[in-house]
Chain A
Amino acid sequence: MNRYAIFLGCTVPVRAQHYELSARNVARALGVELVDIPGASCCGFPMKAVDAETALLIAARNIALASQMDLDVVTLCNSCTAMLSDAQVQLNVKEFRSKFKKLGMSYPREVKVRHFVRMLYEDIGIENIRKAVKKPLARLKIMAHYGCHYMRPSNLYGFDNAEMPHTLDELVRATGAESLEYADKKMCCGGSVLGIDEETAITMANHKLNIAHENGADGLVSICPFCTVMYEDNQRKAEARFGRHYGIPVLYYPQLLGLSLGIDGNGVGLKFNRIKPDAILDKIAT
């Protein structure tokens, strides 16, 4: 059985419990054990723009906790993945390591840091997921949104293809749903700009919502709580700002996968989705 330390970060356990719930239930269904990290904190990413070293030390502490548990790390948030991966690289740099040690922390063995979805792709595999699917979501048209820090920067991750990402599309297709090819797939949701300039951020989010609307997508699939904040929580704002009506549900990938694995709506926390995915459920049901 695959065992991983699960790093939740700040947003997921408080604001996106449906993401967490569906990820845990999907993991269980696929024979993956997720072990919580006692004492895990914020990943450090919010401090990166202020002081990269502070952010890296906070991140390194979290990896160190997993390392002490002798487990590789999976994360649910793209930004957490990037921040912890950065720190993992730094832990091999002498100067950083000595600062880290001065704080009385230890990093007994090198651990891998990966996004939960990447772990599904690499360790479980498309074939096994396809086999585990009990209820193929055959008629759904999904637009997969990767977010930035899932595969960029490529020299940090060496995973997927930064120009033409495909792993999430494959994972969506494994559930039986159609994954739409569309322009500007790699476009950023705008989440990092939200606190600085809401107008720009909403315009960025609107771009992809508009594409989804024009492509007739039944829903967007996201793998990052920030992206969901932009596409779901701020969808109303985008609609108001651009005078459109979208009403596009935004599902976390484990929610979509969970449904195909036969987990019910409660088991993937559908009631917490702000834009109700009723149309999706209707399509699946018939």
Chain B
Amino acid sequence: MIDLKESDPQFKWEIVKKEGGEGLLKCFGCSDCAASCPVRYFNENYNPRKIIRLTLLGLKDRVLTSPFLWFCAHCHACTERCPQGIRVAELINAIKNYAVDQGYCPEGYKMQLDLLLKMGRLYEVEDFDLKKRQRLGLPAIDKTIPDVARILEYTGILKVLQK
């Protein structure tokens, strides 16, 4: 049962303020997003409409602690169909960003962040790779791009790693 005593009336307004979250309040619950969603097609535990609904109801803890929030593949099938013009994938992403900010960041993303901090790219470029590229006549690439670390420090996102 939904207990609205747990509802945080500010939650939806905080999402609206975030990049991509601006369309949240337009939702009238037609469920076209859920019917379009390829992830939902194969895993009924994930439902974008339900995430949006719980967010509108202010059920912050339920939304942020749900493992299914992270199932969105960001494929934009929903964005194309939403009759209210909500950028649904961006909206779900805004909720993910909010969750990270509140300390709910999946380990996988932390690992990726760590890699970007160290190298500026997701895959380590080993000598073996460079030799292989040379053999194929492909140009050499940088092993690390330190500028990325500068950006990570600037936006303050590294705090995620400390939590």
Contact = CB atoms under 8 A, between A and B. Distances in A.
Interface of A: 8, 10-11, 13-15, 17, 20-21, 24, 36, 38-42, 46-54, 57-58, 61, 102-103, 148-149, 152-154, 162-163, 186-188, 190-193, 195-197, 199-200, 203-204, 207, 269
Among A163, A192, A193, the one with the most B-chain Cβ atoms within 10 Å of its Cβ is: A193
Given A47-B157, A58-B151, A148-B77, 6 more contacts: A17-B133, A49-B96, A49-B109, A54-B152, A153-B76, A190-B73
B145 A39 contact: yes
A46 B122 contact: yes
A200 B116 contact: no
A207 B93 contact: no
A196 B70 contact: yes
Nearest to B151: A57
Interface in B32-63: 38-39, 41-43, 46
Contact of B116 (A21, A42, A162): A42
Nearest to A105: B147
Contacts of A188: 38-39, 73, 75, 77
B80 A51 contact: no
Nearest to A13: B141
21 contacts: A15-B123, A36-B139, A39-B145, A39-B147, A41-B148, A42-B116, A49-B70, A52-B94, A54-B151, A58-B148, A103-B151, A152-B79, A153-B87, A188-B73, A190-B38, A191-B73, A192-B75, A193-B39, A193-B73, A200-B71, A204-B39
A196 B79 CA distance: 22
Nearest to A24: B138
A99 to B, nearest CB: 8
A17 B74 contact: no
Chain B: interface size category: 35 or more
Contacts of A203: 42-43
B97 A200 contact: no
A196 B68 CA distance: 9
A47 B150 contact: no
Contacts of A53: 19, 155
A269 B71 CA distance: 34
B19 to A, nearest CB: 5
Among B42, B108, B122, the one with the most A-chain Cβ atoms within 10 Å of its Cβ is: B42
A10 B121 contact: yes
A38 B122 CA distance: 17
Nearest to B18: A52
Contacts of A153: 76, 79-80, 87, 89
Contacts of A24: 138
A86 to B, nearest CB: 9
Contact of A46 (B42, B76, B116, B129): B116
Among B38, B41, B108, B124, the one with the most A-chain Cβ atoms within 10 Å of its Cβ is: B38
Contacts of B74: 48-49, 148, 192
A70 B129 CA distance: 30
B122 A47 contact: no
Contact of A42 (B46, B70, B121, B139): B121
Given A152-B79, A204-B38, A269 B136 contact: yes
B17 interface: no
A162 B80 contact: yes
Nearest to B125: A14
A280 B129 CA distance: 28
Given A57-B155, A188-B38, A200-B43, A152 B75 contact: yes
B15 interface: no
B129 to A, nearest CB: 5
